[in-house]
Amino acid sequence: MTKRSPIEIRPLSPAVGAEVVGLDLSQPIDGESFGRLVQAFTDHCLLVFPAQQLEPAAQWSFGCLWGEPLVVPYLAPHAVTGFPGILRVPNMGKAETLTENWHFDSAFFEEPPPIAILAAQELPPIGGDTMWSNMYRAYEALSPAMQLLLGQVRAAFTGTRVDDGERRDVVTMHPVVRIHPVTGKRALAIGRIESVPHLEGMTPDESRPIIEFLYRHVARPEFVHRHHWRRGDVVMWDNRCLLHYAVHDYGDAPRLLHRMTVLGAPCT
């Protein structure tokens, strides 16, 4: 591979995130530089690559370095032409947005995908930030008694899948405390209250106070980094240890991101 200039990793907050400077994602990345990215991703869970202006082909190549792109057949109408694993994420209006809440992606999948990559294409003149919250920190801040309780239960995550053209409701059980397969660290795994109806073995009435407490807990400011999008930004994050929240405060202004979801663990 072509040798690239040295890169710099700049932490964005004490809780989560780092900015990567000195790397052009549209060009081949040498092994040493990619190794630094893997380590930075492990350490910070969220990487921001400023001013990339990434085209779909380059985003696809970069994503493939981390694993196999996720292709969902029923989402094909939303895909970028020629790149079935890159989805267009436009401004659908506040009433139609599904991501203005704390969540991790595809929580109702049997194995939720580990990595997501967003490339900014068009941004509103103001607003449209995205927030990420560190679930390692959220777990560590719980009392030992609460950690013990949550370590023994799973939560029901609901969603909708399309099989053979027919929509069906899905309920999948996942541990409320999951162990990251790379770091071995424990992280909370919770989502928006509407999609987590109860904890396994508990009634909805018994579950609700715990779920509501956790949803408030994960939003504590000391766990969170709020990203103000800039022209050409590329942001990737670890869906196994972060929650995110897309703030829809920009009305009808145009906003377009290209999203790629990647399966499999980071390469080493």
Residues 17 and 91 in one domain: yes
Catalytic residue among 36, 227, 244, 248: 244
Q: Would you say residue 105 lies in a domain?
A: no
Mark whether 116 and 22 lie in a shared domain. yes
Residue 82 CA to residue 137 CA, distance in Å, equals: 39
Residue 168 φ then ψ, to 5°: -145, 145
Q: Which domain holds residue 33?
A: 8-95+111-123+227-263
Choosing from 36, 44, 103, 174, which is the catalytic residue?
103
Query: What are the pLDDT digits (tens) for 18-35?
Result: 999 999 999 999 999 999
Catalytic residue selected from 36, 44, 105, 192: 105
Please state, in angstroms and as integers, the Cα–Cα distance from residue 78 to each residue in 145, 152, 195, 234, 259, following that order: 45, 39, 23, 19, 10
* CATH number for position 69: 3.60.130.10
Tell me the pLDDT of the chain averaged across its residues.
94
Question: Is 105 an active-site residue?
Answer: yes
Q: Given 44, 174, 192, 259, which residue is catalytic?
A: 259
249 is known as an active-site residue: no
Domain boundary among 200, 218, 236: 218
Using alpha carbons, select from 92, 113, 97 the residue that is nearest to residue 246: 97
Confirm whether 80 is domain-assigned. Answer: yes
pLDDT tens digits for range 124-146 = 999 999 999 999 999 999 999 99
Residue 102 lies in a domain: no
Same domain, 205 and 255: no
SS3 170: strand
Q: Distance between CA atoms of 63 and 168, rounded to whole angstroms?
A: 30
Shared domain for 212 and 164, answered yes or no, is yes
Global confidence as pTM: 0.94
| 84 shares its domain with 30 | yes
Do 13 and 119 lie in a common domain? Answer: yes
153 and 119 co-located in one domain: no
Q: What is the pLDDT of residues 54-87, one digit of tens each?
A: 999 999 999 999 999 999 888 899 999 999 999 9
- Please name every residue paired with 169 in a beta bridge, in sequence order, or none if there are none: 160
How far apart are alpha carbons 195 and 211 in whole angstroms?
A: 11
Is residue 259 part of the annotated active site? The answer reads yes
Q: How many domains does the chain have?
A: 2
Quote the DSSP letter at residue 265.
P
231 shares its domain with 187: no
